[in-house]
Amino acid sequence: METIVKGMEGVEQAAEIIKNGGLVAFPTETVYGLGGNALDPEASRKIYAAKGRPSDNPLIVHVSSISEVHPLVSVLPEAAEKLMEAFWPGPLTIILPKSEIVPYETTGGLETVAIRCPENKVTLSFIKTSGLPIAGPSANTSGKPSPTEATHVLHDLNGKIDMILDDGPVGIGVESTIVDMSGTVPTLLRPGAITVEDLSETLGRKVEIDPAIVAGGVNEGVRPKAPGMKYRHYAPNAKMALVSTKLLKAKDYEVSEEERLQADRQVSDFINELVEKDEAAGLRTGIICCEETKELYRKVRDNASDIKVIGHRDQPLSMTHELFRVLREFDDDNVDRIYAESYSDRGVGFALMNRMRKAAGMTEFLADE
Ligand code: AMP
Ligand code: MG
C-alpha cells in the first residue's frame, strides 16, 4: 500500500523517493503520471514493470524549466525552444535528439527523447526539489484509459509504486500533444489540447501530421472497418464502437441545422437499436453522448443500460476531460458494450476523436448506410 499525500505537503517525501530510485505517481494538468528518475535505467525498468508496458514504448521526461532541457538533448533547435517558450509549462511534449546521459531504457531504445514541462504547481515543485528529470508515462495499466484522478492511479497501480502525490482531478484529462522536432520537418505525433494549428502559428510554418494518427476508421461501404485490435488503446473492458453518418463525415460535421437534426436522429436510432438487441441478448450496454442529444437515447431496462453525457459537443476540451472518467465508470459497472457518438475533428476535437477511436479499436458504424 503506497502513501497518498495531498498537495504540497508530499513534495519533499516524493523527491526523496525519486532520489532513492523509487516510483511516485504525480499530478499534471493532462493526466496523472508515473514518475521515476529519468537518468536511472533501473527506475525506468520499474516504471515499465508497474504499468505492464512494453519496454519499446518510450517514456516522457518531465522538467520544471527550459534550462533543465539542455543536459538531456544533443541539439536544441531554435524552433523547439520557441515552442517551449510559447507553451511551457503546458500540455506539449517535444521530441529531440537525446544526449548521452539519457539511458535507452527511458527512450525505449530510441536516439530521441520526449520532454515536457507540466503545468501543475505541486509537480513543478516536486521536480525541482528532486533535482532530477522525471520519466513519467501516464499512471495507468498499459492499454487502460489514462488516470484523471488519484483513485484511478490507485485502482491500476496499488502496491506497485511507492507514493501518490494527490492534487485532485486533473484539469485537461487528455494526454499532452506530442510534436517531433528532432528532424527537419516538425511533425505532430499525438493530438492534444494544444492543436496543430497552434503549433503552426507559433512556428510560422506548417506542422505535418503523422499518418498513423490521421482520422482513420471508416471506408465507405465497409462497416465496421477491421476492428484492428492492435490500435486498441485507452480502452475500456467493454467492446466499444463509434457511430456517425456518411453525411456528417462528408461535410466534416459542418452541416445545416436541419441536417444536424436528421443526423442526430439517425445516430440515436441506430444506437438505440443496437442497445435493444444487446440487452435482449443479456448484455449490459453503455451510451456516450452529448448534452445536445441525450434526450434521444432511451434506457432499455433500468440498471441494465446507462447513458453518459460527456459535455457540449462544441466544447471538445471539456469532453476530453470527461471521456476517460466515463470509460472507467463503465468498467466499474461491468458494461459489455459501449456505443458512442462521433464528433468533429476540428481543433481540440482531433484529440478527443483520436482517443475515442483508439478506445473503440477504430470501429465506427455509419448510421445512414
Ligand atoms: P504516455 O505518457 O503514457 O502517454 O506515453 C508516452 C508517449 O510518448 C507514448 O505514446 C510514446 O510513444 C511517446 N514518446 C515518448 N518518447 C518518444 C520518442 N522519443 N519518440 C516518439 N514518441 C515518444
Ligand atoms: Mg499512456
How many A from CA of 11 to the centre of ligand 1?
Answer: 25
Q: With respect to residue 143, please indicate whether it lies within any of the assigned structural domains.
A: yes
Average pLDDT over residues 184-193: 94
How many A from CA of 54 to the centre of ligand 2?
Answer: 12
**Phi, psi angles (nearest 5°) of residue 60:** -95, 135
Taking the C-alpha atoms of residue 266 and residue 244, their distance in angstroms, rounded to an integer, is: 9
How many A from CA of 114 to the centre of ligand 1?
Answer: 7
Average pLDDT over residues 269-297: 94
Taking the C-alpha atoms of residue 158 and residue 16, their distance in angstroms, rounded to an integer, is: 20
Same domain, 117 and 201: yes
* Percent of residues, the chain, with pLDDT higher than 70: 93
**So what's the pLDDT on residue 151?**
94
Among all bound ligands, the one having the nearest atom to the CA of 38 is 1
Q: With respect to residue 229, please indicate whether it lies within any of the assigned structural domains.
A: no
* Domain encompassing residue 206: 3-215
Residue among 28, 47, 60 whose CB has most ligand 1 atoms within 8 A, to mutate: 60
For residue 57, which atom of ligand 1 is closest to its CA?
12
**Is the model's pLDDT at 233 over the cut of 70?**
no
How many A from CA of 57 to the centre of ligand 1?
Answer: 6
DSSP character at residue 147: P
Q: With respect to residue 118, please indicate whether it lies within any of the assigned structural domains.
A: yes
Calculate the dihedral angle through the C-alpha atoms of 320, 323, 325, 329, rounding to the nearest 10 degrees. Answer: 170
**So what's the pLDDT on residue 263?**
97
**Is the model's pLDDT at 275 over the cut of 90?**
yes
Q: What is the CA radius of gyration of the chain?
A: 21
Same domain, 20 and 85: yes
How many A from CA of 53 to the centre of ligand 1?
Answer: 12
For residue 33, which atom of ligand 1 is closest to its CA?
2
Taking the C-alpha atoms of residue 146 and residue 176, their distance in angstroms, rounded to an integer, is: 12
How many A from CA of 45 to the centre of ligand 2?
Answer: 16
Same domain, 198 and 273: no
Same domain, 123 and 272: no
Residue among 32, 44, 59 whose CB has most ligand 1 atoms within 8 A, to mutate: 59
Q: What pLDDT band is residue 292 in, cutting at 50, 70 and 90? A: very high
**So what's the pLDDT on residue 305?**
66
Among all bound ligands, the one having the nearest atom to the CA of 106 is 1
- Can you read off the three cell numbers belonging to residue 362? 477504430
Which of 284, 347, 338 is closest to 319 using CA atoms?
A: 347
Taking the C-alpha atoms of residue 101 and residue 356, their distance in angstroms, rounded to an integer, is: 37
Q: What pLDDT band is residue 222 in, cutting at 50, 70 and 90? A: very low
Taking the C-alpha atoms of residue 172 and residue 148, their distance in angstroms, rounded to an integer, is: 8
Same domain, 300 and 201: no
Q: What pLDDT band is residue 215 in, cutting at 50, 70 and 90? A: low
How many A from CA of 138 to the centre of ligand 2?
Answer: 4
Same domain, 286 and 154: no
Among all bound ligands, the one having the nearest atom to the CA of 137 is 1
* More confident of the two residues 313 and 305: 313
Same domain, 10 and 141: yes
**So what's the pLDDT on residue 296?**
95
Q: What pLDDT band is residue 251 in, cutting at 50, 70 and 90? A: very high
For residue 146, which atom of ligand 1 is closest to its CA?
3
Domain count, the chain: 2
Same domain, 201 and 267: no
**So what's the pLDDT on residue 300?**
61
For residue 176, which atom of ligand 1 is closest to its CA?
4
Q: With respect to residue 224, please indicate whether it lies within any of the assigned structural domains.
A: no
How many A from CA of 137 to the centre of ligand 1?
Answer: 8
Among all bound ligands, the one having the nearest atom to the CA of 110 is 1
For residue 114, which atom of ligand 1 is closest to its CA?
16
How many A from CA of 132 to the centre of ligand 1?
Answer: 19
Tell me if residue 128 falls in helix, strand or coil.
Answer: helix
* Percent of residues, the chain, with pLDDT higher than 90: 81
Taking the C-alpha atoms of residue 92 and residue 191, their distance in angstroms, rounded to an integer, is: 10
Q: With respect to residue 11, please indicate whether it lies within any of the assigned structural domains.
A: yes
Q: With respect to residue 67, please indicate whether it lies within any of the assigned structural domains.
A: yes
Same domain, 201 and 348: no
**So what's the pLDDT on residue 220?**
34
Same domain, 59 and 154: yes
Which of 249, 218, 212 is closest to 231 using CA atoms?
A: 212
Instruction: Name the closest-CA residue to atom 2, ligand 1.
Output: 137
The residue to which cell 476535437 is assigned: 349
Average pLDDT over residues 153-167: 96
For residue 53, which atom of ligand 1 is closest to its CA?
3
For residue 98, which atom of ligand 1 is closest to its CA?
19
Same domain, 210 and 308: no
Q: What pLDDT band is residue 145 in, cutting at 50, 70 and 90? A: confident
Among 78-87, 168-177, 219-228, the least confident range: 219-228
pLDDT tens by residue, 335-355 = 999 999 999 999 999 999 999
How many A from CA of 261 to the centre of ligand 2?
Answer: 36
- Can you read off the three cell numbers belonging to residue 296? 434521444
Taking the CB of residue 214, how many other CB atoms lie within 10 A of it? Answer: 12
Mean pLDDT score of the chain: 91
Among 50-64, 82-96, 139-153, 291-305, the least confident range: 291-305
Q: What pLDDT band is residue 225 in, cutting at 50, 70 and 90? A: very low
**So what's the pLDDT on residue 267?**
97
Q: Which of 175, 199, 215 is the last residue of a domain?
A: 215
CATH number at residue 46: 3.90.870.10
**Is the model's pLDDT at 199 over the cut of 50?**
yes
Q: Which of 173, 200, 215 is the last residue of a domain?
A: 215
CATH number at residue 320: 3.40.50.11030
pLDDT tens by residue, 18-34 = 999 999 999 999 999 99
Q: With respect to residue 234, please indicate whether it lies within any of the assigned structural domains.
A: no
What are the C-alpha distances in Å from 255 to residues 261, 264, 278?
Answer: 10, 11, 31
Same domain, 31 and 177: yes
| Residues within a 6 A CB radius of ligand 1 | 57-58, 60, 95, 107, 110, 112-114, 137-138, 175, 178, 189
- Can you read off the three cell numbers belonging to residue 77? 533547435
Average pLDDT over residues 314-320: 92
Among all bound ligands, the one having the nearest atom to the CA of 234 is 2
**Is the model's pLDDT at 139 over the cut of 80?**
yes
Taking the C-alpha atoms of residue 244 and residue 221, their distance in angstroms, rounded to an integer, is: 13
Q: Which of 156, 182, 215 is the last residue of a domain?
A: 215
**Is the model's pLDDT at 365 over the cut of 90?**
yes
Q: With respect to residue 21, please indicate whether it lies within any of the assigned structural domains.
A: yes
